Amino acid sequence: MRNLFKNCDIKVFLTMSALAVFYLFMLVYQSRQVAITDDARFYMAAAKSYYSYFDNCKFSKKCFEKGTIDRYWRENNEHPPFAKLLMAGGYGFFHKKLNILDEIRALRIGISIFAVILLMFIFSFTRRAFSFHAAVFASLSFIFLPRTFFHARVATLDFAVAGTSFIFVYCYWRGFTSKFWAWMTGVAFGIALATKLNAPFMVLPVLIHFFIFKWSDIKKRPFKTVFAPQFVSMLIISLPLFFMMWPWLWHDSAARFISYVKFHTNHYGILMYYLGKIYGEPRPPWHAPFVMMVLTTPLISLFSASLAPIIYKWKNESENNFAMTLSILCAFVSIAVLMFMPAPFYSGVKLFQPFFPFLAVIAGTGIYSMLKSVTFIPEKYKFAPGILFFIPVIVSMVDLKNDHLSYYNELAGGTKGASLYKNEQHYYDLFYYDLTEFFNKECEKKRCRVAFEPNGKEYDPSSGILKKAGYLKKNFIYSDLAKADYFVLTHEYRWKDYPNILRRSKNLKKVYSIEKQGVELLTVFKLNSK
């Protein structure tokens, strides 16, 4: 991290620190109230198992034996370990050692701390490539991305791969002027590989960028140029580091690696409700990722990011263009791999989180370029109107409270508009904190048997996690519909049974609902006693 702050004056240091503290505060504030995702149970279980491995083994010879590895690393072996190691670190330090956070928040905080580290890399990249002011606006553009903000607060893999992908690209870019960063490129890429399978796609924009800007050198000195230090470090360091970081591969290596790749290349179709149709098999149309990106990104970021490439092309500043082209290529590829490749794709913006750090860089430069062209405002006062640009998205984030996965921008008409135009309101079969509060009161003195539809099976393990952590009282009993006292209808349109279930629920007694911007996300009905 020292190299991030090298040659920083006090203004830069204090600004970066203030942004980091502000972002961390946003991430941890009311973190208890953030909904639990259905995927979290797999990653949380794996993270706790990893912690037990390091806590029990103490790096003895037994740590490397197949039986020990299988015991502690079998959990969620379809995904690499880095994000879960972040979770394990937070769990071990804040829950097991200090005991200042409950189990769920402790497992999440490692991802949130990594989000702050990513923010500092975004700031550093934009400041060095463009300007200090652009770096501030890039940081704010990233902080106020509602759906990315949600992913930075939960125990899943997608934010982590966004962070490792960006840091890899940062190291590659700095590697042209620094041997340290050139060799760190291999380290960063190895960690990215150890995060999620979509990380290797970031090699493509890096290679395209290299050939665009180094083509004349390649023609003159092909061997020397192609074997740049960044690529040498990737060849030497990344794969061994990936292997070292994932003990699951230490035994039966070939078979386990092939199984890992096959799991993702043959991934089952996951349903998505898009423009009034349910997709899974076949997958959604090619334009779905692009449309979802446009509808779920704040307008100020969309507009300024569209403007920035035009401005820098017009200015013809070669050094700026070098970084701008890299950012655009990385952003485009992050979306294009889902638009044009036969990879699983599903609702929201989950699978293209690596797009958003690069978007923030481009948007930040665009915002400052717009302000810079306004000559009647003195330079030192241009921050104020720039911050005003973010007011609409800030208002939306406050309004949504902790349900930022339901965010849609003004082009979509907000959450309500997206519902009218037949797009999914949320994803992940979320078990909302507000729902736990309702049932804690409702079931304080009696047992409550609760059924969920249309995808109830995902709520059984989630309720178990919440009960164990003390969020949900033990009187709450997950049940099937035939035996239930309460019925929870989650308004997730991607399930084919949803219209029928909704119709059958019309005559039931509604006792509670979670609503955002005029759209019901969840409804609780009380059933007649048997």
Rg (CA), the chain: 24
Which phi and psi (to 5°) does residue 450 adopt? -125, 130
Q: What pLDDT, in 10s, does the model give residues 24-73?
A: 999 999 999 999 998 899 999 999 999 999 999 877 888 999 999 999 99
Percent of the chain with pLDDT over 90: 65
Percent of the chain with pLDDT over 70: 93
> What is the pLDDT at residue 2?
57
> What is the pLDDT at residue 281?
66
What is the spatial distance between Cα 264 and Cα 261, in angstroms, rounded to a whole number?
6
Amino acid at 422: K
pLDDT above 60 for 6? no
> What is the pLDDT at residue 342?
60
What is the spatial distance between Cα 157 and Cα 197, in angstroms, rounded to a whole number?
10
> What is the pLDDT at residue 140?
97
Q: What pLDDT, in 10s, does the model give residues 432-480?
A: 999 999 999 999 989 999 999 998 888 999 999 999 999 999 999 999 9
> What is the pLDDT at residue 420?
73
Of the pLDDT bands very low, low, confident and very high (cuts 50, 70, 90), residue 313 is: low
Locate 526 and state its tokens: 């009380």
Q: In 3D, which of 68, 50, 51, 76 has the Cα closest to residue 250? A: 68
pLDDT above 80 for 318? no
> What is the pLDDT at residue 57?
86
Burial class (CB in 10 A: 0-12, 13-18, 19+), 30: exposed
pTM equals 0.94
Angle, CA of 432, 278 and 430, to the nearest 5°: 10
Q: What pLDDT, in 10s, does the model give residues 202-220?
A: 999 999 999 998 888 888 8
Q: What pLDDT, in 10s, does the model give residues 335-374?
A: 988 877 665 566 668 888 999 999 999 999 999 888 887 7
Any idea where the domains of the chain sit in the sequence? 2-245+252-372, 433-526
Count CB-CB contacts under 10 A for residue 520: 15
What is the spatial distance between Cα 105 and Cα 29, in angstroms, rounded to a whole number?
11
Span between the terminal Cα atoms of the chain, in Å: 63
> What is the pLDDT at residue 11?
87
Locate 380 and state its tokens: 């030192």
> What is the pLDDT at residue 145?
97
pLDDT above 70 for 262? yes
